[in-house]
Structure 1
Amino acid sequence: MHGPVSAAWLLVALCAATGASCLLRLRSGVDEQRRSAGGEALMGFGMAAMAVPAAVFSPPRWAWPVYAAVFGLAALRALWAMRRERHHLHHLVGTAAMVYMAVAMAAAPPAEHHMDGMAMAGMPGTGVPLVTGTLLLYFTGYVLLTGARLVPAAATAGGPAPGRWGDRPELARACRLSMAIGMIAMLLTM
């Protein structure tokens, strides 16, 4: 690896590929897959856009409030969807983390946006380490729990296999797992 810029590009590739696979899940014949796939695709592509190294593209100052607004709306949608399906709590935490990172970038002095790699600036004040640490603990726990559930799902799946690959529940879990890993990488740079 050649420093943080290489890591940033790997994160961009991971998040963009995850977003693309979530878009393909929108064509699923399973209602639950379609309902969550759009929000997950937004998360994947949003994370990929945030992870682009500042040396390549530095978004204008007005882009960060737009990110915060888009993911704030996605958080409200996840909150509303939690009435039906419990896994939307994870979507709510993920979109809230994206809002948090966008607000941190908007509050950062412009010079801090031009650091090498995917370094993100922290918000001034004492609450940032607590929020960042809490989010890191959540996503680390999520990765460990989901990873443990994903391995047995592929080995012990019973019953008939879904007709199309996009209908497979382990694909949705793998998408959420890869985005949680990407979220850990992004939060570590705060």
Structure 2
Amino acid sequence: MHGPASSGWLLVALCAATGAYCLLRMRSSVGEQRRAAGGEALMGFGMAAMAVPAAVFTPPPWAWPACAVVFGAAAVQALWTGRGSPHHLHHSVGAGAMAYMAVAMAASPGREHGHGGVGIPALTGLLLLYFAGYVLVTGVRLVPVAAAPERSAATGAGSPGVPGWGDRPELVLACRLSMGIAMVAMLLTM
């Protein structure tokens, strides 16, 4: 219960739940929200698949190169469509990190999850620093602040409506925070 398999399953559950929530966010009426949610769903489910303990399932030899290609393409797509947007740049770094981990897993002799040990230490360290910083900044952004007093709806100056639960910024931040934490955990096993 306290071994690496239990932490692996917790990581799988966290990433799969995050991916499922991101799929639901794709129903948003805001176009940019839908596009971002699609990339985040791919990351969530991909991270869940990569975190499955090796004692339960050992992927076929072609799985890691396939993951590297999929996430490499996602990184390039995020860079191309973002063109300077910080959030798209973050998506690109995340997808690139997933491609890097898949390449490291394909190159490892045992090809077991979480036992790569082959990666470039400097790149792993840079990615760890980036994602640890991202987790801290995102966590701080989730800290509640005093709400501004709402204006009366009778004066017509109030907000046009309450966003749907899929468009709530705090839920989106919590989703991104959980994926950042999962990325740190996965990089620590490299």
Q: Describe the SS at the equivalent of 1:70.
A: helix
Counterpart among 144, 147, 172 of residue 136 in structure 2 = 144
- 1:92 matches 2:95: no
Counterpart among 92, 102, 114 of residue 119 in structure 1 = 114
User: What letter matches 2:44 in structure 1?
Assistant: G
Give the deviation of 1:5 after TM superposition. Answer: 0.4
User: What letter matches 2:121 in structure 1?
Assistant: P
How many residue pairs match? The answer is 181
For residues 129 and 69 of structure 1, what CA distance do their matches in structure 2 show? 22
Give the deviation of 1:158 after TM superposition. Answer: 7.2
User: What letter matches 2:175 in structure 1?
Assistant: C
Once the two structures are aligned, what percentage of the paired residues are identical? Answer: 69
For residues 115 and 88 of structure 2, what CA distance do their matches in structure 1 show? 27
Could you say which structure has the greater relative contact order, defined with CA pairs below 8 angstroms and 6 or more residues apart?
1
User: What letter matches 1:182 in structure 2?
Assistant: A
Query: 1:53-64 to 2 correspondence within 5 Å?
Result: 53-64=53-64
TM-score, normalising length: structure 2: 0.89
Question: C-alpha offsets along residues 21-77 of structure 1, whole Å, 9 cap, x if unaligned?
Answer: 000000011222111000000000000000000010000111000000000110011
Give the deviation of 1:2 after TM superposition. Answer: 1.5
When residues 13 and 157 of structure 1 are mapped into structure 2, their CA distance, relative to the original with a 3 A threshold, is farther
Asked whether the equivalents of residues 33 and 172 of structure 1 are also in contact (C-alpha less than 8 Å), the reply is no
Q: Describe the SS at the equivalent of 1:156.
A: coil
When residues 55 and 163 of structure 1 are mapped into structure 2, their CA distance, relative to the original with a 3 A threshold, is same
Question: Computing the radius of gyration over CA atoms, which structure comes out larger, 1 or 2?
Answer: 2
Partner of 2:176: 176
Partner of 1:134: 126
Q: Describe the SS at the equivalent of 2:86.
A: coil
For residues 170 and 130 of structure 1, what CA distance do their matches in structure 2 show? 33
User: What letter matches 1:9 in structure 2?
Assistant: W
For residues 32 and 157 of structure 1, what CA distance do their matches in structure 2 show? 26
Asked whether the equivalents of residues 19 and 45 of structure 1 are also in contact (C-alpha less than 8 Å), the reply is yes
Partner of 1:74: 74
Asked whether the equivalents of residues 5 and 53 of structure 1 are also in contact (C-alpha less than 8 Å), the reply is yes
User: What letter matches 1:156 in structure 2?
Assistant: A
Runs of at least 5 residues in structure 2 that lack an aligned partner in the other structure: 151-158
When residues 158 and 102 of structure 1 are mapped into structure 2, their CA distance, relative to the original with a 3 A threshold, is farther
When residues 65 and 112 of structure 1 are mapped into structure 2, their CA distance, relative to the original with a 3 A threshold, is closer
For residues 173 and 16 of structure 1, what CA distance do their matches in structure 2 show? 16
Give the deviation of 1:84 after TM superposition. Answer: 6.7
Give the deviation of 1:142 after TM superposition. Answer: 0.2
Partner of 1:188: 188
Give the deviation of 1:112 after TM superposition. Answer: 4.8
Give the deviation of 1:19 after TM superposition. Answer: 0.2
